[in-house]
Structure 1
Amino acid sequence: MYKFNKKLLSITLGLLCCQAATAAVSIEEATAIQRSLVTLDSHLDTPANLVVPGFDILERHTYDHDFSQVDVPRMKEGALDGGFWAVYSPQGELTTSGYEQSRDTALLRALAIRTMVAANPDVFEFATQSADAEKIKKNSKHIVYMSMENAYPLGTDISLLETFYKFGLRMAGPVHFKNNQFGDSSTDPSGTKWGGLSPLGEKLVAEANRLGIVLDGSHAHDETVKDMIRLSKTPIILSHTGSKAIYDHPRNVDDTLLKELAKSGGVIQMNAYSEYLEELPADPERKAAFGGLMKLVKEGSDRSVILEKRREIEHEHPAVKASFEVYMEHFLHALNVVGPKHVGIGADWDGGGGVDDMMDVVNLPKITKRLLDEGYSKSDLADIWGGNALRVLQQAHDYAESLKTSKK
């Protein structure tokens, strides 16, 4: 009688199981899995479009026509439940008048987010607590958390942070492209000013902790991020950042800082801003054409004229974008370094984000498919797509509540 080699049989079955587990899934299967999860993007610059005349968030737009990347029809198609909708206002001089002008813009932007929700109660619901996301999804609505990109509009009055908190703000980053009153930016051409957070920036961290606002280190200089991790009583988030090991750009973080972030409980949300993903070829003609476009904007030209000019530029001098594969290199590297409990998604939609084959939220299931193909589980995806960001939000809330309890 033939005798089975049990060891060989075991190895063969193991290989077959392994092959089955890593078999590529279809985009339809990936989309279905994604729809079953709470899916959040931690940095949506879409509120900038809410104040553009003629833009309707309920209508389907296309990137080729008006260069927008997020609206309700595309969110549904791309299985995106919502995220952190950013309050952003340009940074001017570090003066009282500069602060006040930016403050007013920021308040109007926050109001635009609240108005979007109030005007469409069957479509959107505002969220302030971690648990709100699941409830809103179950009610088949889109999730709206509010964040602030660049705390410059607060000026030197830290108490204004509480005003925005009462508006619903639950995430805030101290800096943007340039150094400001709160600390150093990663991209200020003049270099560092404070060596990290300023004394006022340290107070900002303490106030955010007191209120239960998550601190966002995206755009911050590495030393600023280190100060935030050191001083914050709760984990911080990098709401839209990449891996410096893949592309050495100031907006990305190296593995040492990434591990420090994860050790403190923090999360990196992967950015899809092409210029931060790889070195792209210079295009002087496109740059010059955009100079002319910005002149039209400053002159207050009609939106239709501006859009037609932009379409003309894209036709004559098309932008070179990073590939989806390069984006996933950043993503998979971060996952390899700190694991799926510390990585999420913040593509910078409507703020310059987008790579070839993923220029709006419609194509988000490509990320899910790729992660499944790489062997990540549905549980891992639940963390990556929203669970990690919500955990950090919950920890910020819990610490703020503990302060109230201790006072009592």
Structure 2
Amino acid sequence: MFALLLLAGCATTQAEAPRKAHRDFLVLDTHLDTPLHFGRPGWSFAGHHDPATDLVQVDLERMDAGALDGGFFAIYTEQGPLNAKGYADALAFARGRSDLIDHTLAAFPNRIDFATTAADARRIDRAGLRVAFKSMENSYPLGEDLSLLREFHDRGVRLAGPVHGANNQFADSSGDTPKWNGLSPLGRTWVKEMNRLGMVIDASHASDAAFDQMLELSKSPLLLSHSSGRGAFDHPRNLDDSRIRKLAAKGGAICVSTIFLSNMNMGPERAALFSRYEHIADLSPEAQADLARRWRALDATQPIWAADFERYMAMVLHVIEVAGVDHVCFGADWDGGGGLPGIEDISALPKVTERLRAAGYSDADLAKMWGGNILRVVEAAARAASTQ
């Protein structure tokens, strides 16, 4: 009888245990384009930035407000010509962007620290600091020299995608007409080298055929750092339900984005603003503020996306239903075109947790989706490398 009463008491205690708050989870985002802001004259990653006059969506103040514990800061390089000069220029840029990430974040040793392993991320989080992984969006800067992957690995990069918005020397892009029908011969070797180094393969932006081939060839799970589900919105940048299930079956994860929940409204005025935005670090503080004012004015009349927070949550719930909670994560494409009414920047992240709770997801489910699944994939890549 005493044992039964003891068990009943334990059950009551467990039932009454408070649910975790959003900030109690290890919250990571797999695709932060924020480094494009790091070189801006007169700008600080730790400062307060008024959304009316500054387009940045991620900074240390907002990380505190939205309890974003960290993520992957992207070395993004624009596509250029597939020739020796194009590769050399891109490599110089990527090296500079990597150095800029290091220099900017190292200025805040009491607030953020660099991670290259899942264990690092957990240790840094326990210490009360933000977590900074590095990623490479578009492997174009490598040219045809795959030994350069080792250099970027040594620079701390642990996540990389082969391609961006246009076909390159490694793979076909989801946004271009097929050239290789998936991976090029060099792209197949790129997959092997990524596996050998223990770097996670990012399949966002890759064509369906390139995704299929990477999934088949890779010895470790794939990650889609900022993609959504085609079953909820039909667009080539999104992954169809069948492929999401195949990704999950091989242990991978899809990090749901706020982009391409609708068609992109990219008229001439917006395209011109985007072109200036991608080079915002070259603008004076006055020109930066003018860009922000024009951007916000256009948002009021011609939004980039015909979507909002409700549409985003519908996409998230669809992807969870297809993939399962063990294979979903978050990569909203902050500072790279992401953000929607109701989820304009990372300070809104607690709303996602609230909505997932309302949909019936548990603390264990949320812990997986906010950070656990990402770290599991990082660990799997490192483990696969150690066996080769």
What amino acid is aligned across from residue 311 of structure 1 in structure 2?
R
Matching residue of 2:22: 34
Identity %: 43
Supply the distance in 2 between the matched residues of 1:156 and 1:247 (Cα, whole angstroms). 35
User: Where does structure 2 lack aligned partners over 5 or more consecutive residues?
Assistant: 1-14
Which whole-Å deviations, capped at 9, do the CAs of 1:277-304 have from their partners, x for residues lacking one?
Answer: 0236x575xx336537847998965341
What amino acid is aligned across from residue 69 of structure 1 in structure 2?
Q
1:320-399 → structure 2 map (5 Å cutoff): 320=303, 321=305, 322-399=307-384
What amino acid is aligned across from residue 261 of structure 1 in structure 2?
L
Which whole-Å deviations, capped at 9, do the CAs of 1:112-143 have from their partners, x for residues lacking one?
Answer: 11112322211111101111111101111110
Q: TM-score, normalised by structure 1?
A: 0.86
Which whole-Å deviations, capped at 9, do the CAs of 1:157-213 have from their partners, x for residues lacking one?
Answer: 00000000000110000000000000000002xx10000010000010000000000
What amino acid is aligned across from residue 302 of structure 1 in structure 2?
S
Structure 1 pair 289–265 and aligned structure 2 pair: CA distance change class (3 A): closer
Higher CA-based Rg = 1
Residue in structure 1 matching 2:224, options 218, 238, 246: 238
Moved more, 100-109 or 294-303: 294-303
Structure 1 residue 272 and structure 2 residue 254: aligned?
no
**Equivalent residue pairs, number:** 369
**Aligned residues of 1:64 and 1:311 also touching (Cα < 8 A):** yes
Matching residue of 1:155: 143
Which whole-Å deviations, capped at 9, do the CAs of 1:344-377 have from their partners, x for residues lacking one?
Answer: 0000001110011111100001110010000000
Matching residue of 2:38: 50
Could you say what secondary structure the match of 1:131 adopts? helix
Structure 1 pair 391–53 and aligned structure 2 pair: CA distance change class (3 A): same
What is the CA distance between 1:71 and its match in structure 2?
Answer: 0.5
What amino acid is aligned across from residue 137 of structure 1 in structure 2?
D
Supply the distance in 2 between the matched residues of 1:307 and 1:41 (Cα, whole angstroms). 27
What amino acid is aligned across from residue 251 of structure 1 in structure 2?
R
Structure 1 residue 257 and structure 2 residue 239: aligned?
no
Structure 1 residue 96 and structure 2 residue 84: aligned?
yes
Structure 1 residue 72 and structure 2 residue 60: aligned?
yes
Matching residue of 2:165: 177
Supply the distance in 2 between the matched residues of 1:213 and 1:296 (Cα, whole angstroms). 30
Structure 1 pair 116–289 and aligned structure 2 pair: CA distance change class (3 A): closer
Could you say what secondary structure the match of 2:326 adopts? coil
1:206-217 → structure 2 map (5 Å cutoff): 206-217=192-203
Which whole-Å deviations, capped at 9, do the CAs of 1:312-365 have from their partners, x for residues lacking one?
Answer: 353256242411111111110111112100000000001110011111100001
Structure 1 pair 223–356 and aligned structure 2 pair: CA distance change class (3 A): same
What is the CA distance between 1:99 and its match in structure 2?
Answer: 0.6
Structure 1 pair 115–296 and aligned structure 2 pair: CA distance change class (3 A): closer
Supply the distance in 2 between the matched residues of 1:297 and 1:382 (Cα, whole angstroms). 33
Could you say what secondary structure the match of 1:215 adopts? strand
**Aligned residues of 2:28 and 2:330 also touching (Cα < 8 A):** yes
**Aligned residues of 1:62 and 1:69 also touching (Cα < 8 A):** no
Q: CA RMSD in A?
A: 2.1
Supply the distance in 1 between the matched residues of 2:187 and 2:274 (Cα, whole angstroms). 36
Residue in structure 1 matching 2:290, options 308, 315, 329: 308
What amino acid is aligned across from residue 288 of structure 1 in structure 2?
E
**Aligned residues of 2:40 and 2:283 also touching (Cα < 8 A):** no
Supply the distance in 2 between the matched residues of 1:143 and 1:295 (Cα, whole angstroms). 29
Supply the distance in 2 between the matched residues of 1:296 and 1:240 (Cα, whole angstroms). 20
**Aligned residues of 2:253 and 2:328 also touching (Cα < 8 A):** yes
What amino acid is aligned across from residue 279 of structure 1 in structure 2?
N
**Aligned residues of 1:344 and 1:386 also touching (Cα < 8 A):** yes
